[in-house]
Amino acid sequence: MKLTASLLASVLSIMVATAAPLEGRDNPHNVEPYQDKHSDVAKLFVRAGEKAGKPLANGPTIGSAEWKALYPPVEKVPDVSLTPKSWTAALAAAKKAGGYPSGVPLTTADASGNYAYPAGVNPSVEPVCSFPNGCNKASDFYNAPDGVLALSFDDGPTAATTNLTNFIKKNQISASHNMIGSHIVELPTQFQQIIASGGHLSVHTWSHMHNSALTDEQILAEIGWCMQVIYDNSGLVPKFWRPPYGDLDNRVRFIAENVFNLITVTWNRDSRDWAIPSLFDQTVQKSVDEVRSYVNGSKSPGMNILEHELNNACVTVFETVYTDYVNDGWDIRNLVSLVGRRRL
């Protein structure tokens, strides 16, 4: 498939026709789903010789070796020597402007693969404020408004994306998709399926690593290259992101929010679908039961639930509980319309 100006225009028209009505509902603070194409952040992703909002108009065929060569190797932290100079300059400028959280050390993994801060550091309070250790910031999207289900899926695109997007279109709903940049390079057809379903495009980094264990420059590359591949193949610069594993602290927040102007999304409920089928004896039925316990529980606060399109088992969990969401009166929305009215 050749990425041409006409194809890109078609993609954008699909998104306007299918996603905008849902994203525009009850959005009193007028939060935009994407960055303004003329903003300083958007300019970071415009390649030499291009016009804003019109990426790769005469570029290589999507999926070709030439197209893949535009990006770092997949499924690993990008080599920081590949980072565009404009990104590193933006990071330096953000630090110079102030607010960079000093005193936030990197985590390291133990023999079991668990990441921890050095001895003597309390990650649940300032200056670290680690989400896995129970610390949330007012700028994080954590609790959904009462009675609302914030619908988003992590780790796409995957082979399971086809089934998920077909279900979404059939039921005329809209979801946010927190996407791994490497997966877009590997599965560009499924990426286009997300767009065609009216999906809201959001960032889940390039290779799904633990951010707190990375240097500033590596975090910059992980977020930046994911935003780049989304922009190159949609004309849209993401405004939202969810950190992999929820691995978020003030140092990671600073880079995401002050360099890339991203809204950080965490979660307040966990379907545990990510553990199917190999971890903790988790099964589809166990995840279904977990989600139903939330559905039948209190609607205050609403559900900002962690769900995945990692495999067909994850998709089956969502498809199974969808009727429960509807029958119990949950207001199902993607992330965009919720940020202005979230319950802090």
Q: What's the pLDDT tens digit per position in 114-154? A: 999 999 999 999 999 999 999 999 999 999 999 999 999 99
Question: At the topology level of CATH, where does 2-78+85-96+119-341 sit?
Answer: TIM Barrel (3.20.20)
* Active-site position among 154, 155, 232, 331: 154
- Confidence (pLDDT) at 337: 79
CA dist., res. 164 & res. 197, Å (int): 9
Single out the residue of 134, 130, 135, 136 nearest to residue 115, CA to CA.
Answer: 130
Q: Which DSSP letter does residue 307 get? A: -
pLDDT tens per residue across span 160-211:
999 999 999 999 999 999 999 999 999 999 999 999 999 999 999 999 999 9
pTM of structure? 0.91
- Confidence (pLDDT) at 93: 98
CA dist., res. 113 & res. 262, Å (int): 28
- Confidence (pLDDT) at 5: 37
- In this predicted structure, the answer to whether residue 339 has a pLDDT above a threshold of 90 is no
Q: Is 217 helix (H, G, I), strand (E, B) or coil?
A: helix
- Confidence (pLDDT) at 252: 98
Single out the residue of 91, 61, 55 nearest to residue 235, CA to CA.
Answer: 55
User: 49 or 247: which carries more pLDDT confidence?
Assistant: 247
Is residue 40 flagged as an active site residue? no
* Active-site position among 216, 249, 308, 331: 308
- In this predicted structure, the answer to whether residue 256 has a pLDDT above a threshold of 60 is yes
Per-residue confidence at 1, pLDDT binned at 50, 70, 90? very low
Per-residue confidence at 29, pLDDT binned at 50, 70, 90? very low
- In this predicted structure, the answer to whether residue 341 has a pLDDT above a threshold of 60 is no
What would you report as the CA-atom Rg of the chain, rounded to the nearest whole angstrom? 19
Mean pLDDT over the full length of the chain: 90
- In this predicted structure, the answer to whether residue 90 has a pLDDT above a threshold of 60 is yes
pLDDT tens per residue across span 277-303:
888 899 999 999 999 999 999 999 999
Is residue 208 flagged as an active site residue? no
Domain coordinates in residue numbering, the chain:
2-78+85-96+119-341
pLDDT tens per residue across span 52-64:
889 988 889 999 9
Q: Where are the alpha helices (DSSP H) in 146-267?
A: 161-170, 181-186, 188-196, 216-232, 250-254
- Confidence (pLDDT) at 20: 32
Q: Which residue has tokens 């903790």?
A: 280
- In this predicted structure, the answer to whether residue 333 has a pLDDT above a threshold of 70 is yes
- In this predicted structure, the answer to whether residue 4 has a pLDDT above a threshold of 50 is no
Single out the residue of 305, 91, 101 nearest to residue 212, CA to CA.
Answer: 101
Residue 87's H or E segment, with its range, is helix 85-97
Answer left, alpha or beta for residue 198, where phi above 0 means left and psi between -120 and 50 means alpha.
left
- Confidence (pLDDT) at 300: 97
Burial class (CB in 10 A: 0-12, 13-18, 19+), 20: middle
Q: Are 150 and 340 in contact (CB under 8 A)?
A: no
